[in-house]
Structure 1
Amino acid sequence: MGGDVNDAYRIDTDGEPRFLLVQPGRTAEFYAAEIAGLEAFEAAGITAPKVLGNGVIDGDAYLLLDYLEEGQGSQRELGQLVAKMHLTHEPGNLFGFGLPHEGGDISFNNEWTDSWSELFVERRLDHLRDRIVAENLWSEDDAEKYLQVRQVITDALEEHRSVASLLHGDLWAGNYMFLSDGRPALFDPSPLYGDREFDLGATTVFGGFTEDFYDAYQQEYPLNEGAWRRIRFYRLYLLMVHLAKFGGTYANSVEKSMDDILNR
């Protein structure tokens, strides 16, 4: 746990291991959305670290969690767990969250809306496009290609009825683990209520999820027609996040992702 955003430490208090995340130079509110996500997981019966404390020490924000002992487990059970999370729906089918997404250097507006396309395309993809262009990571041709891709995405989402599911928001292989008793657990959420295909798109970018995962997910919560075509939209999103954060290393991957969307 910790990723590329936080400083992360194992500490012992009263003989018990704890997990400490530190974000230098931030207020305690930096962790507000993550805490809310972990609490939403707990309410939904999703195995995740419990929040033990949050505050500021010497000008640095911290989040104290219980320590999860790592073991080995089943991708099928992981698929079932993710499906269970996605079966937790926002009662009014509204998309968003009560708090914004605050990343280390990228933030997103999570204000509630009844339009998934507004939240995903206008507030996330367009925001990333603006940052990528401002940092001179795209040529004019790249920006024009994005507009073509954007049209494909908005047209497809207009035809698809999205359901507001509880999402992890950053579901790559570095944000799950198997516990010492074999149970799967999720951590480091960037929570929102959104189309579940958003999370599944993230699982396809860097590996770490097997066919057993997808088969078990499909059995628990079958995907709608055209899902795997739309999942490519969320692959593009995650690659654009990495282009914005880490620069040109991801330029070719983003270009290939856009071409894939346009050519099918």
Structure 2
Amino acid sequence: MDKELIAYLNYLLCTKIERVSPISGGDISRAFLLESETEKFFCKINGQNKALAMFHAEKNGLQELLKTNTIAAPRCFHVEPYEAGAFFMMEYVESRNPKVEDMSVFGRQLAQLHQLSNSRTFGWEENNFIGSLDQSNSRHLDWTSFYVQERLLPQLHLAFEKGRLAKTDIPSREKMVAVCNNLFPNVKPSLLHGDLWSGNFLISKEGIPFLIDPAIYYGHHEVDIAMTRLFGGFGDSFYNSYREIIPPEPGEEERTDLYQLYYLLVHLNFFGASYKPPVKRILSAYF
């Protein structure tokens, strides 16, 4: 991190940053811990042209989660342009390895978040991002049309444009709608994190679960749960606590594949061909 940026951050934060330490782990942005005598801050820097839009969307998502008073998220301070991209300053949360009881609390709080239904439509007031890929949140009155039109089709078409799927791999919209209508229950819109893998939550040193890097929208609560199961890392206490508040519904196992398909397509488009076999397996099984 260069001295000019540090000086500007001192001005924005009305403090004097004494130490800057790189933090590893991000796939998209560079991250730093900034320390003054009395406070710690987390700073992300991204050089992409769309970084400012990405960070504004992330900030809006975190603030929306905070407003629910169900689960913690870092406090957000500043999103500003920087060189060709942008930076995002937020609260630094010191974390620890999750304990069984922490994950139980997390499961309960996520269920409480999912019980919020302050929207009559599926989607969100603005588009955002899944990783660095565009995520459309145009509003729909029914869940099937939203999931097919705003989730599956954009990623399928992107995979075709990138040469990672053939045109014959992509089902028709009509086929996808018919299958989803048959499998989806009468869904009530829930506020979702939207990208809930194990790298997008942390447990503070006080044992408080925090959500980070959201891709929020109103959708079916099973989508977040499907993502937690895709790569693992949540454990029985999390699911048991969640299920005490929101029990599983008939057909959830089949829907899990369809919901994981979206995230597998995202990974196919972002990381490449290693995700093609599971994508094709689900496409063949359902469509």
Whether the TM-score (by the shorter chain) exceeds 0.5 is: yes
Q: Is the counterpart of residue 6 in structure 1 residue 33 in structure 2?
A: no
For the 8 Å contact 1:97–1:193, the answer to whether it is kept is: yes
The structure, 1 or 2, with the larger RCO (C-alpha pairs under 8 Å, 6+ apart) is 1
Equivalent residue for 1:87, pick from 105, 112, 115: 115
Q: 1:216 aligns with which of 241, 248, 257?
A: 241
8 A Cα contact 1:121 1:154, kept in partner: no
Q: Secondary structure at the match of 2:194?
A: coil
Which of 42, 53, 66 matches 1:42? 66
Distance 1:22 1:198 in 2: 29
Q: CA, structure 1 residues 218+247, in 2 after alignment: closer, same or farther (shift >3 Å)?
A: same
TM-score of the superposed pair, with normalisation by structure 1: 0.89
Q: Is the 8 A contact 1:32 1:99 kept in 2?
A: no
Does 2:19 align with 1:19? no
Deviation at 1:127, TM superposition (A): 0.8
Cα distance, 1:75–1:261 mapped onto 2, change above 3 Å: farther
Query: Is the deviation greater in 236-245 or in 221-230?
Result: 221-230
Which residue in 2 is equivalent to 1:127? Answer: 154
Q: Max radius of gyration: which structure?
A: 2
Mean Cα deviation higher: 18-27 or 37-46: 18-27
Change in Cα spacing, 1:136 to 1:154, as seen in structure 2 (3 Å) is: farther
Please state whether the residue corresponding to 1:22 is helix, strand or coil.
strand
Q: Is the 8 A contact 2:54 2:132 kept in 1?
A: no
Query: What per-residue deviation string (whole Å, max 9, x for no partner) do you get for residues 168-205 of structure 1?
Result: 00000110111101121111101111111111111111
The answer for the alignment partner of 1:142 in structure 2 is 169
- Whole-Å Cα distance in 2 between the matches of residues 161 and 111 of structure 1? 20
> 1:228 is aligned with what amino acid?
E
Change (3 A) 1:211 1:147: farther
CA separation of 1:150/1:237 partners in 2, compared to 1, >3 Å: closer, same or farther?
farther
Name 1:245's counterpart in structure 2. 270
Deviation, structure 1 residue 15: 3.7
2:215 is paired with a residue whose SS is coil
Is the alpha carbon distance of 1:118 and 1:147 closer, same or farther for their aligned partners in structure 2, counting shifts above 3 Å?
A: closer
CA contact (8 A) 1:3 1:174 kept: no
What CA RMSD, in Å, does the superposition of the two structures yield over aligned residues? 2.2
Q: 2: distance between equivalents of 1:196 and 1:132?
A: 26
Q: Is the 8 A contact 1:20 1:62 kept in 2?
A: yes
Gaps of 5+ in 2: 1-22
Identity value in percent? 27
Partner of 2:197: 172
When the two structures are superposed, what TM-score results if normalisation uses the length of structure 2? Answer: 0.82
Matched positions, count: 259
Gaps of 5+ in 1: none
In the superposition, relative to structure 1, how do residues 128 and 29 fare at CA in structure 2: closer, same or farther (>3 Å)?
closer
Residue identity matched to 1:32 = H
